[in-house]
Amino acid sequence: MNLGGVLAMSRKKVVLIDLDMRKPKNEKYPAGNDLSKGMSTILIKKNTWTECVTKTSLENFDFIPSGPHPPNPSELLLNGEFTDVIEELKKVYDFVVIDTPPVGLVTDGIMAMKRSDLSIYVFRANYSKRAFMDNLHRVITINKLVHVSTVLNALPVNDHYYGYGYYEDRTGTKQNWKNLLRIR
């Protein structure tokens, strides 16, 4: 949501898609969404994306909810309609941001990564484990993915991690980063 908002504030047309059809984040997204339609109904051709898009309070920022929980989310992404929808959205929007389910738990996220121009994999400080990084490496290797970036968020704000300067200048910083990522 924040990434889409920042892009929209730079005067770019942005659409955010909630692709987590198993566990939608309805409470985190704009109010006023019709939960009876969204990506799941678009992919079975019950609705068009234009019928499902919701304007947000930010100019140039739209949202497409996940829609009702389908029995087969992964299969819906394989039917070819997903690629067609993304291509249509690219003609209208400068940025198409897709919020996927966690990569590694289900294959939906990997299918979206294969069709994206840039994938951003988010690690959370003091939560993500080394196995998560190993899993990302495995996913990238097996699927021959390119243009994958990582972000470390929820970094505690204190004088050890925030401010100007180089992290090499601080004693014990390498160990601190390992602790944040739970690398052992």
pLDDT at 75: 86
Domain residue ranges of the chain, discontinuous segments joined by + = 2-117
CATH 3.40.50.300 for the 2-117 domain, yes or no = yes
Q: What is the pLDDT of residue 184?
A: 43
Neighbour-count burial of 142, counting CB atoms closer than 10 A to its CB (0-12 exposed, 13-18 middle, 19+ buried): exposed
User: For position 11, what pLDDT does the model report?
Assistant: 95
Predicted pLDDT at 164: 54
Nearest to 86 by CA among 68, 72, 100, 71: 100
Per residue of the chain (184 residues), give pLDDT as tens. 889 999 999 999 999 999 988 877 666 666 666 678 999 999 999 999 999 999 999 999 999 999 998 888 888 888 789 999 999 999 999 999 999 888 766 778 888 898 889 999 988 888 888 888 898 999 999 999 999 999 988 887 765 555 555 545 445 555 555 555 555 4
**Alpha helix stretches (DSSP H) within the chain:** 2-9, 39-43, 49-52, 73-78, 81-92, 108-114, 130-143, 173-180
Give Cα separations from 165 to 42, 108, 154, 162 (angstroms): 48, 39, 20, 9
Q: Is the dihedral of CA 5, 60, 93, 11 positive or negative?
A: negative
The pair of structure tokens assigned to 147 is: 């243009």
- The CA-CA-CA angle for residues 136, 8, 92, to 5°, reads 85
pTM over the 0.85 mark: no
Query: Is the torsion defined by CA of 130, 131, 136, 142 positive or negative?
Result: positive
Q: Which residue has the tokens 């898009």?
A: 53
Cα 76 from Cα 22, distance rounded (Å)? 12
